[in-house]
Amino acid sequence: MSSLLEREATATGTTGGRPPQRRRRQSRAQLIVRTRPWLLLAPALILLGGLLIWPLVRVFLFSLQDYGLREIVTGESNYIGFGNYAEIFANPLLWTVVLPNTIGFAVVSVSATVIFGTLVAMLMASLGSVWRTIVGSAIMVAWAMPAVTGTYVWIWIFDADQGLVNETLKNLGLMNESFNWFTNPFTFYAIVALNIVHHGFPFVAITVLAGLLGVSKEMIEAAEMDGAGPIRRFFAIIFPTLKPVFSVVIILSTIWDFKVFAQIYLMPGGAGSNREVLNLGVWSYVESFGQNRYGFGAAIAVLLTVLLLVITAIYVRTLFKEEKE
């Protein structure tokens, strides 16, 4: 039953449905039908409204205040207009470190995750069922590793004094002295990227694989007969068919990678002592809780949200445009 459903789910393209047709058309029944969706939505919407949307409004209100520990304790407000924003935009750290780190890292890790995940998916699609299951399970293991755990494992692998990488390089004679991988922003973010890609590609691979299995074999074979190489075939047939899958995968990865926090915060120097590696999330957290400047931290958070909302808007537009067609 379930496998049937899965196939149905991937194959059918219709969305929504018709409201149930009732024989008797009493106004009371109609009222029920009309309110039913709202009744069904109510618990979820109440929860989201109370715990995501209202807090989001409050973040914005905080960001217009000089909001410190005193204000939190007493509940007073202390509006200062857009002072926090002015300070953020005047801070050279934003332009030279924080924004480049945030955006640059998201671009690099999103493309690395998506490309690598897609390649793995294509590899898996070409494997027999036994090996596909083996690789699939291995991928699950990588995915299942909690971010905190994974981060500590990578920290240890790259540890300057006892880490595997340094030991190996030294034993191979490629390096004379231990190198501290966490002090240089590039190697720091390279490790974060490795961590993120390792943790993130399984989602891409599994999703794309499921999509790939739905692409019609005939079309690919026909293209092969026409002499199209693998790259041509990918861009001419597979990519267009899987476009919705890719758009979802890319946008979700973007959101997740923009918001990366724990993987940076837990790294040596990542919690603020190495200024070169700050990103928007960590910066906001450090300013809020270290400095008790919740207003300033909130303003940074608003900035991050706006950035993501712009990306979302683009996503929603492409998605709903396709749905309408």
Residues between 213 and 252 that touch another protein (CB under 8 A): 214, 244-245, 248-249
Contact with another protein (CB under 8 A) among 85, 103, 203, 234: 203
Stretch that binds another protein, among 104-112, 221-229, 231-239, 314-322 (CB under 8 A): 314-322
Task: Please identify, using beta-carbon distances, which residue of 3 and 227 lies nearer to another protein.
Answer: 3
Q: 262, exposed or middle or buried, with CB in 10 Å at 0-12, 13-18, 19+?
A: middle
Gap between the Cα atoms of 276 and 296, Å rounded: 20
User: Least CB distance from residue 63 to another protein, whole Å?
Assistant: 10
- The answer to whether 198 contacts another protein (rule: CB under 8 A) is yes
Query: Dihedrals φ, ψ of 65, to 5°?
Result: -125, 160
Q: 315 phi and psi, to 5 degrees?
A: -60, -50
- Dist. CA 53–CA 47, nearest whole Å: 9
- Interface with another protein in residues 91-120 (CB under 8 A): 120
Rank residues 22 and 232 by Cβ distance to another protein and give the closer one: 22
- Among 100, 221, 289, 314, indicate the residue that binds another protein (CB under 8 A): 289
Select from 27, 73, 90, 231 the one that contacts another protein (CB under 8 A): 73
Pick the binder of another protein from 30, 31, 54, 79 (CB under 8 A).
54
Nearest to 257 by CA among 314, 185, 203: 203
Stretch that binds another protein, among 18-26, 106-114, 219-227, 229-237 (CB under 8 A): 18-26
Instruction: Kindly state the smallest distance separating residue 186's Cβ from another protein, in Å.
Output: 12
Residue 176 near another protein by CB under 8 A:
no
The label of the residue with tokens 């309110």 reads 35
Q: Cα(275)–Cα(63) distance, rounded to whole angstroms?
A: 23
Q: Find the binder of another protein among 25, 26, 38, 229 (CB under 8 A).
A: 38
Coil, helix or strand at residue 79? strand
State yes or no: residue 177 binds another protein (CB under 8 A).
Answer: yes
CB of 47: closest distance to another protein in angstroms?
6
Q: Does residue 154 touch another protein according to CB under 8 A? A: yes
Indicate whether 26 belongs to the interface with another protein (CB under 8 A). no
Work out whether 126 is an interface residue with another protein (CB under 8 A): yes
Q: How far is the CB of 227 from another protein (least distance, A)?
A: 18
Contact 193, 108 (CB under 8 A): yes
Q: What CA–CA distance (Å, rounded) separates 214 from 238?
A: 10
Name beta bridge partners: 65. 79
66 binds another protein (CB under 8 A): yes
How near is the Cβ of 226 to another protein at its closest, in Å?
21
Tell me how far apart the alpha carbons of residues 51 and 49 are, in angstroms, rounded to a whole number. Answer: 6
272 phi-psi bin (left φ>0, alpha ψ -120 to 50, beta other): left
Sole binder of another protein in the list 142, 169, 215, 236 (CB under 8 A) = 142
Q: 216-250 burial string, b = 16+ CB within 10 Å, else e?
A: eeeebeebeeeebeeeebeeebbeebbeebbeebb
Reading the block at residue 243, the tokens are: 């476009």
**152 is a contact residue toward another protein (CB under 8 A):** yes
Q: Which of 108, 236, 259, 318 binds another protein (CB under 8 A)?
A: 259
Beta bridge partners of 79: 65
